[in-house]
Amino acid sequence: MEKRYCPYCGSLLKPFIDHEGKSRQRCRNCGAVIYENPIPATALVIPKPDDARQILLVKRAVEPCKGEYSLPGGFLEIDESSEEGAIREMLEETGLHGKVKKLLGVRNQPSPQYKMVLLVGYEMEVLGGELAASDDAEEAKFFPLDEHPPIAFAGHRWFVDNYKSLITNY
């Protein structure tokens, strides 16, 4: 949905073509240019503490892709780093306390709600807690890397493949 009003002064926006030839919106009153930016989120590969060849997947309790499996993760809050968001999301969705072990990469993921999500993927280490699905997940379960259900999002599949390539003798 295209914005109609300026987030700064509330006046109507008007379309224009910028110097790069891109269609944008500009406020009729204050002149602010409205840029659309991707929404930052995390995607977490959480290996089973005693078996690095099993990873934690969650069954989604909300759209998009409700009822399908994905990596745990979610949107960053304005006052946290991506690492802090990863740790928070791990606890919220899985009941597990953890820490960031390794950056797996950064990927764009198209989104029907937000146009584009910027995913930051991390390998996490479990430090404690009790495995229990909560928040946006209706189930949280470890699966073997070669025998897991389909993963709903292409960006999440990329992080799982990246993690697989990091495991020696896989």
Q: Which residues are catalytic?
A: 139
* Angle made by CA atoms 78, 127, 161, in degrees to the nearest 5: 75
Count of residues in the chain = 170
Cα separation, 105 vs 74, whole angstroms: 15
Give me the sign of the Cα torsion angle 139, 145, 149, 151: positive
User: Are 61 and 136 within 8 A, CB to CB?
Assistant: yes
* Angle made by CA atoms 92, 95, 97, in degrees to the nearest 5: 95
